[in-house]
């Protein structure tokens, strides 16, 4: 099975589909591709957090370089082929400006996919919404009616709505996989330079054992709040 996973930022792979991705990798029968949509440069723009002192000396180009490096390290950590990692390098926080280009670049990657993994629709983050728009736009142009659309939430972005409860399922991990996620988290040292965001992510990855995901088909597009 060819699985194409879209992460809006260079850490959403862990915080969204990461737990179930470990299972797909262990099955050793899938051609797994990761698409990192933005470069993560806007990581420290918000005034709602406290940052380590060295952040003040970093340009946004520095931040983007660090976060893209972390995305590449994650692929290596998961032992996925580097050639299966696709970087769009769109500017973080500007995702909606790149939807048209994103659709063009996504189409050759998903045209022969069996499962596409993407963030929820009606998302409160512009880049997560843009990623959804890119994937669904490309799928519509290609008329991909026979594949599975696997939807996730990044942990701070909200919850699935009840209108698609029959599409949702809970996925529980064991302690071995929990440890793998905790070690994976250590790669994202750009996030460790934040105080409250890092505390939230770290606490969640160390404590959570169950995630909610949802599966949809082509005919479901636009029928549900999350898809």
Q: What is the mean pLDDT of residues 42-66?
A: 94
Q: What is the pLDDT of residue 46?
A: 81
Nearest CA-CA partner of 139 in 32, 83, 224, 219: 219
The answer to whether the pTM exceeds 0.85 is yes
Q: Within 10 A of 46 (CB to CB), how many other CB atoms are there?
A: 11
Domain-embedded: residue 40: yes
3-state DSSP call for residue 210? strand
Domain-embedded: residue 115: yes
What CATH number has the domain bearing residue 179?
3.40.50.10320
Domain-embedded: residue 226: no
Q: Which pLDDT band holds residue 49 (cuts at 50, 70, 90)?
A: very high
How many angstroms from the chain centroid is the CA of residue 57? 28
pLDDT, tens only, 83-100: 999 999 999 999 999 999
Q: In sequence order, what E strands does the chain have?
A: 2-7, 31-38, 85-90, 115-119, 148-152, 168-172, 210-216
Q: What is the pLDDT of residue 227?
A: 97
Q: What is the pLDDT of residue 45?
A: 93
Q: What is the pLDDT of residue 157?
A: 73
Task: Tell me how long the chain is.
Answer: 227
56 burial (CB, 10 Å; 0-12 / 13-18 / 19+) is: exposed
Q: What is the pLDDT of residue 159?
A: 87
Domain-embedded: residue 225: no
Structural domain range at position 165: 2-220
Q: What is the mean pLDDT of residues 143-154?
A: 96
Return the ∠ at Cα 134 (arms to 4 and 22), rounded to 5°. 25
Q: What is the pLDDT of residue 96?
A: 95
Q: Which pLDDT band holds residue 32 (cuts at 50, 70, 90)?
A: very high
Inter-residue contact 67 to 190 (CB < 8 Å): yes
Average pLDDT of the chain, as a whole number: 97
Domain-embedded: residue 69: yes
User: Could you give the number of structural domains in the chain?
Assistant: 1
- Which two three-digit tokens encode residue 57? 């000396």
Segment (H or E) for 192:
helix 189-192
> Which has the minimum average pLDDT: 71-75, 76-80, 121-125?
121-125
pLDDT, tens only, 58-70: 999 999 999 999 9
């Amino acid at each position: 099975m060819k699985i194409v996973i879209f992460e809006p930022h260079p850490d959403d792979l862990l915080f969204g589909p990461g737990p179930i991705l470990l299972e797909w990798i262990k099955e050793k029968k899938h051609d797994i591709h990761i698409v990192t949509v933005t470069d993560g440069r806007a990581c420290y723009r918000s005034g709602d957090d406290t940052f380590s002192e060295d952040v003040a000396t970093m340009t946004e180009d520095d931040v983007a370089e660090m976060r893209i490096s972390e995305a590449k390290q994650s692929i290596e950590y998961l032992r996925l082929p580097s050639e299966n990692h696709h970087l769009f390098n769109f500017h973080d926080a500007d995702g909606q400006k790149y939807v048209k280009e994103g659709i063009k670049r996504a189409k050759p990657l998903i045209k022969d996919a069996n499962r596409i993994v993407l963030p929820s629709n009606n998302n409160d983050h512009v880049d997560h919404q843009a990623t959804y728009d890119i994937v669904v736009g490309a799928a519509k142009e290609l008329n991909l009616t026979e594949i599975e659309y696997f939807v996730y939430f990044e942990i701070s972005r909200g919850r699935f709505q009840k209108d698609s409860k029959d599409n949702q399922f809970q996925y529980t991990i064991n302690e071995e996989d929990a440890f793998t996620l905790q070690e994976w988290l250590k790669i994202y040292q750009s996030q460790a330079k934040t105080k409250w965001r890092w505390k939230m992510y770290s606490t969640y990855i160390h404590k959570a054992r169950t995630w909610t995901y949802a599966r949809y088909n082509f005919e479901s597009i636009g029928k549900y709040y999350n898809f």
